[in-house]
Each structure stands twice: as C-alpha cells, then as structure tokens.
Amino acid sequence: MLARVLVINGPNLNMLGRREPDVYGRQSLAEIQQEIEEMSLPDDIEIEFFQSNHEGALIDKIQESCGLVDAIIINAGALSHYSIALHDALKAVKVPVIEVHLSNIYARESFRHQSLVSLAATGGIFGFGSLGYKMAVSAACELISRRRNVQEKNN
C-alpha cells in the first residue's frame, strides 16, 4: 500500500541559500528537495512538496491532504510562532506531524522559543540544517510503518 508524506514549507523558505546563509545554510529549497528525492526510501513511500508564503495557502493544503497523506513534515517558518489557525489545521488532519526548523529556534531570539506548531506535532527536529529534513523523512517512514503494523495486528 502506497504511503504519502507531505513536506510543507512556509514563508521565506523559498529564499533559502540567499537569506541569512549563516543562520539557514547555503542550500536552496530546491536543493534540499532534491536531496530528499535522492534518499533511499521504501518503495511504498511517495513524497509531495509544497511551499507558500501565504498562511491561508498552507492551511488549504493541510486541509486538502486530510485522508490523503500518512504523515506531514512542516517547516512553517515564522508562522510556527503565532499561527493558531495553522496549529488547528494540523490538529484536524490526525496523522503524524513532524516539525522541522533549520536553526535551533530555542537558541535564538526569545520570540522564537514558542512554537504553536509544536503543540500539534508528534515531534520536532531543530538546528540540524537541511539534515533535519532527512531526519524527518526517516522518522515519518518509521511512524507510518509502526502505524501499519498496529493496524495489521488489529485486523
């Protein structure tokens, strides 16, 4: 059975590689996406990528994914810190959610220390640069596999 993972990127992440490379790294979002696509993944895992600078577009994508994806990986950028609407959308999907941030948000300005996305997430990966996305994909695959095993045992 095919499993789908949705990787969502929020505001300003389309500027990766150019925006504060000392904080966010020198790789573009397209390069990070290519690295993920080149990962050795189980044959039954399909990954979809989405990026928007608009909160409503992110919420629409999350809502549209309901029942169609098995996990969500999200780097909501600055929206992580104040978007109750994004938090609510993630809670409604009822699949594992893995929050990713390139930088360690807890080692930065105090306004970045709170993440409303974290309250809706299964777990988070912070401060590992683009490696965090690969770690999140591996975690998503493991969570999907465990969920399937539990479902098989219950049937």
CB 124 within 8 A of CB 152: no
Closest to 117 measured CA to CA, from 105, 129, 109, 128: 105
Please report the domains of the chain, with CATH numbers, ordered by start residue. Answer: 3-154 (3.40.50.9100)
- Measure CA 114 to chain center: 17
> Which residues are known catalytic residues?
24, 101
Cα–Cα dist 135/101, whole Å = 12
What does the pLDDT profile of the chain (155 residues) look like in tens digits?
789 999 999 999 999 888 766 766 678 999 999 999 988 787 789 999 999 999 999 999 999 999 999 999 999 998 998 899 999 999 999 999 999 999 877 766 666 667 899 899 999 999 999 999 999 999 999 999 998 888 888 87
Q: Minimal CA–CA distance to 5: which of 151, 153, 147, 150?
A: 147
Written as six digits, the tokens of 94 are: 């009822």
The structure's pTM equals 0.91
